[in-house]
Amino acid sequence: MRSTRRNQAGVTLIELLIGITLMSLLSVAILYAMRLGLGSQERANNKIMSNRRVVGSQRILEQQIANLMPIIGDCRANPAAPPQQIAFFQGEPQAMRFASSFSLTEAQRGYPQILEFAVIAGEQNRGVRLIVNELLYSGIRSTEGLCLGVAIDSNGPRPRFRPVESSPNSFILADKLASCRFLYRELLPNAPPNVNPEQWVPQWVKPGLPTAIRVEMTPLEAGPGSLHVMTVTSPVRLTVDPLRKDQF
């Protein structure tokens, strides 16, 4: 009778601890595998979103340049000075201003905007980033606060502009860049037959507009499977001088 009761007894405490330990190890392995899977999915999603931002920013930059508008702006050396009319365009190696019919928020359906581009230091001073500000263009007087007067140099009269400043409303077109600069294409009217009539200059000092604008960008870090910012070259559709009335 006693031997029968011993055979019907349950598991021992040691067997129970072993079972709990095995279940715990199995649960930890399952959770670790799930964590790895979720981490891989998150990294893949971040890479896809980053690639989409790169493609979207480059398309925006191309559209902004392609829809450049030749406008006239008022320029004052000081508030008491009489305004001088200028062909509104600023082209420097790391700063650029012009009016465009392409808006970030409303694409080509919105009002014309004065676009301010600048190359500034990146986050924690690592590399540089390209930003753009949008200012509503509402007429010739919209440019008064951006121009500081007209200077005379070897190329003739040339407007002087305020530095482009970043703000919380600035849009980052490209980030984590090793370098970024603007180039402007001009056509040489009397170039010899064996000379290329096009040349790219780092600063625009001509009275008219460049025939194209190039934004040269170099990524700070190159990783596999990621799209990297590339040089964007976009033609300017209207290259007339807005101060010459006989062109219209």
CA-based nearest residue to 69, from 22, 139, 150, 118: 139
Q: CA neighbours within 13 Å on the CB side: how many for 231?
A: 7
Residues of the chain with pLDDT under 70: 1-10, 41, 43-54, 154-156, 222-229, 239-241, 243-248
Neighbour-count burial for 140-163, b at 16+ CB within 10 Å, e otherwise: eebbeebbeebeeeeeeebbebee
The DSSP element (H or E) to which 5 belongs, if any, is helix 2-7
What pLDDT is recorded for position 226? 58
Q: What percent of the chain stands above pLDDT 90? A: 24
What is the distance between the alpha carbons of residues 212 and 234, in angstroms, rounded to a whole number?
6
What pLDDT is recorded for position 1? 47
- Rg of the chain over Cα atoms, rounded to whole angstroms, equals 31
Give the count of beta carbons closer than 10 Å to the beta carbon of residue 182.
Answer: 23
Tokens encoding 105: 């928020």
What pLDDT is recorded for position 185? 93
